[in-house]
Amino acid sequence: MKKIINDPENFVDEMIEGITLAHPDLVRTPGSDPRILVRADAPLPDRVGIVTGGGSGHLPLFKGYVGRGLCSAVAIGNVFSSPSSEQIFEATLAVNGGAGVLYLYGNYGGDVLNFDLAADLAELEDVETRTVLGRDDVASQPKERAEDRRGVAGIVFAYKAAGAAAERGDSLAEVAAVAEDIIENTATMGIGLSPTILPTTAKASFDLPDGEMEIGIGIHGEPGIHRGQLETADQIATRLVHPLVEDLGLTAGDRVAVLVNGMGATPLEELYVLYRRVHHIAEELGLTVEKRYIGEYATSLEMAGASISLLKLNEERLALLNAPAESPFFREG
């Protein structure tokens, strides 16, 4: 696999440097550690800060959602690796405006451990924190074990809503409640068509023979729930959407936001072909699509594939999605 990189060991730091050089009006590094990014105007007095984080390799996920009306800071790890507790703690202090800090990130063991350690460090500095975990991957656990699900692309909805709540001046408890409400009403399922090639090893993260697909695959190549011959876009959309509808208990008359997310190597044209069928399924079920997001929102380097996320909407959730926001990779309003 050919890659446009220099020394693989410098891949993450050079990528982050590129982001800060390209978007100095939106993000900055608050100290000497280049793997901590904060919004350019942080900290905001009397506003809740929102800190996210995770491994590299998922851009724009994590580091791409730092900005106005979104996250306040991100701590960045190596490819598919957690940031350290010290980095998360430093990010916490950098965006603490006196109203507390929400930790909003995906439900993965290493991330949970290090964010919990950072919360302990923050408590010693009298900084109040709350934690909400992204856990929208319905393929990773059944409904009765939803608390143990992985966090995937659907966390973008939580970034947007929680960021809007923080921007309008909600308390830490209120911002956390908004994020939790979004997570509980979001469901995602993905499909993989080819593996990721890790920059440091030049090896595939998993094996998937030519002509096959894997339904329910995770963003690190975690095993899915079905592997078989590649199907048509319409068949794939049907496989992905109906479990989401069932999981969320959607019925005729409900309103939804739809996120069709590319994993890194799937052309935008194919994502629109996929969305076409998603939209038709929604119409057939009597659902109204109020918001649509089609593109790359949570990738896995150059994995080919896509995921579909549904968010059940009410007036409050829709208003939060529609609130203004701006980051290097996202804009609303």
Distances (CA, A) of 95 to 123, 194, 311: 15, 38, 28
Catalytic residue check, 279: no
Choice among 23, 58, 226, 279 that is catalytic: 58
C-alpha angle 206/12/329, rounded to 5°? Answer: 90
| Residue type for position 332 | E
220 is catalytic: yes
CA atoms of 59 and 150, how far apart (whole Å): 17
Residue 60: is the preceding peptide bond cis (ω within 30°)? yes
Which position among 23, 220, 226, 279 bears the catalytic label? 220
Who contacts 129 (Cβ-Cβ below 8 Å, separation ≥6)? 92, 100, 101, 102, 103, 118, 119, 122, 123
Which sequence positions are flagged as catalytic?
A: 58, 220
